[in-house]
Amino acid sequence: MNKPPAPDVRWHPAAITRPLREQLNGHPSAILWFTGLPGAGKSTLAHAVEERLHRMGCRTFVFDGDNVRHGLCSDLGFSQKDRAENIRRIGEMTKLFIEAGVIALTAFISPFRADRRKARSLVADGDFLEIYCRCALAVCEQRDMKGMYAKARAGEIAEFTGVSAPYEEPEQPDLILDTAQLSVDACVDQVLRLLSARGILPKQGMSDMKLPPLDRI
């Protein structure tokens, strides 16, 4: 006997939730937060882990300087204040990505403990996995894949982490990868073991078999 409400005033709650999206995807979402010195291998490893997860049928996305510093955070520099705001925005954005059911991998130096702690605090326990790419400064500097250390030493780049700006090591990361010692594949294996232990890999029935090798796509 209740009169149905007129269509134009019908309130429509958000019916599609993170659990429904995770169910559709066949795996939980999470944030994999890679941190470490410039040249420690964060971006290389984030992309390598993503590739492995994608082959397993997971929904993934890597955030790094290339797609964030030129876009969402293009108004920010490298002062401590701007670095904090950079990490705040990345934290808020990755929070939305895990709501969307995506495994979000971030590859930023994120040198300050307080900023990383804030990013972790935005989400539930277990949603944020801090992965420390540990590599001696001398090794990172010897690699110097983009010639950035040389420029920083020459004074051409100000506030360069490791040279003229500090890096605060994680105190209790979820995983430490010794990227000076281990191969990329060995590091990826360690990350996958962490995800498996935390229940973040797809349930049985999804495997590499479902997708052709990447080079054939």
Amino acid 7 reads P
d(CA 67, CA 147): 20
Neighbours of 11 (CB within 10 A): 5
* Per CB under 8 A, 54 contacts a copy of itself: yes
> Beta strand 175-178 with 103-107: parallel, antiparallel or unpaired?
unpaired
Cα angle for residues 96, 40, 58 (degrees, 5° grid): 35
Q: Would residue 121 show up in a list of annotated catalytic residues for this protein?
A: no
Q: Are 140 and 149 in contact (CB under 8 A)?
A: yes
Residues in CB range of 139: below 8 A, 6 or more apart: 39, 180
Question: Catalytic pick from 43, 74, 110, 164?
Answer: 110
Residue 106 Cβ vs a copy of itself, minimum distance, rounded to whole Å: 12
Which residue, 44 or 165, has its beta carbon nearer to a copy of itself?
A: 44
d(CA 28, CA 58): 9
User: What x/- string results for residues 20 through 39 when contact with a copy of itself is judged by CB under 8 A?
Assistant: xx-xxx--------------
Choosing from 92, 156, 169, 208, the residue that interacts with a copy of itself (CB under 8 A) is 92
Which residue, 10 or 203, has its beta carbon nearer to a copy of itself?
A: 10
Residue 201 Cβ vs a copy of itself, minimum distance, rounded to whole Å: 16
Dihedral, CA atoms, 113, 116, 118, 122, nearest 10 degrees? -160
Choosing from 180, 189, 192, 194, the residue that interacts with a copy of itself (CB under 8 A) is 180
102's tokens: 């995506």
d(CA 130, CA 158): 27
Q: Are 194 and 174 in contact (CB under 8 A)?
A: yes
* Per CB under 8 A, 184 contacts a copy of itself: yes
Q: Which stretch binds a copy of itself (CB under 8 A): 61-69, 113-121, 123-131, 150-158?
A: 61-69
* Per CB under 8 A, 14 contacts a copy of itself: yes
Q: Which stretch binds a copy of itself (CB under 8 A): 45-53, 126-134, 155-163, 194-202?
A: 45-53
* Chain contacts with a copy of itself (rule: CB under 8 A): 7-16, 20-21, 23-25, 41, 43-45, 47-48, 50-51, 54, 57, 59-63, 67-68, 71-72, 74, 89, 92-93, 95-97, 99-102, 122, 139, 143, 145, 179-180, 182-186, 211, 214, 217
Which residues are catalytic, by number?
A: 110
